[in-house]
Structures are given as C-alpha cells and as structure tokens.
Amino acid sequence: MILFAIMFAATTPSALTDTQQGDIACVVVLATLAEKQRLGTAPREAADVQQSGKRWAGIVGSRITAQSGQPRELVAVAMAEAAKSEFARPSDLARINTCTQQMAAELATADMMANPLPKPVKSK
C-alpha cells in the first residue's frame, strides 16, 4: 500500500512553473516567427528558425511533460493556445533574439548528449 502511494505521488501532475511557462512562451515566439518566415512576413533580421524551431519545440515539450507529469497533449494544447495570441502581435526582435539564443544553447547541449565524446585510447 505504501509503495502504491509513493508511486502515485511521483506521477501526480503538477502545475507548470514560471520557467516552464517561459519556455512555452519562447517556443511560441519562435513557432510564430517560423510561420511568418514561411509566409514571407517575418523581420529580415531574424534568424531562420523553421527547422531548428521544430526540433527545439519537441525537446521543450518532452522536458515539460517529464518535469510536470502533465500529459503531452495538455502541454501541446498550452503551446497552441499561447500561439493563437502571439501570432497577432507584431514581432519583437529583442524577444526573438533572446529565445533564439536559448534554443541554440539547448540544441547544442542536445547534440553533445546525442554524440558523446569518443572513449580515450589507452596508451601502450
């Protein structure tokens, strides 16, 4: 019985933290930018995020799902709802740049984890 209670407590979903909500906001900013880039209405100064943004959205979504215990579908709905209001806003280049830097750092970390350093060669 105690083991069941511990397992249940470990999987109980929690509310999204401010950091998680901030991550969702950045994903939405870059998803909106990617859509505007596809439509040709994005600021020219902004980095192209059409491919990297998709990958990062998956990483952030998976991380938030794991951390919060919320179902993946609920996290996706939170992202979609945030995107609806973001698309109507004018592009904020400073905010875009901040989110692009965060995305680049997290993608670099993910790449390093996916490609570990080679094992050292033992000298004879």
Per-run averaged pLDDT (10 residues), the chain, 124 residues: 42 81 94 94 93 94 93 88 83 94 95 76 69
Gyration radius (Cα) of the chain, Å: 18
Distances (CA, A) of 102 to 55, 91, 107, 123: 13, 17, 9, 40
Helix, strand or coil for residue 38? helix
**Geometric angle at alpha carbon 95, from 93 and 96, rounded to 5°:** 60
CB 64 within 8 A of CB 13: no
Q: What is the pLDDT of residue 2?
A: 47
User: Cα–Cα distance between 62 and 89 in angstroms, integer?
Assistant: 27
pLDDT at 124: 63
Q: What is the DSSP letter of 62?
A: H
pLDDT computed for residue 116 by the predictor? 67
pTM of model > 0.75: yes
Nearest of 103, 121, 120, 101 to residue 111 by alpha carbon: 103
| 10 contact partners, CB below 8 Å, separation of at least 6 | none
Say what the pLDDT of residue 9 is. 45
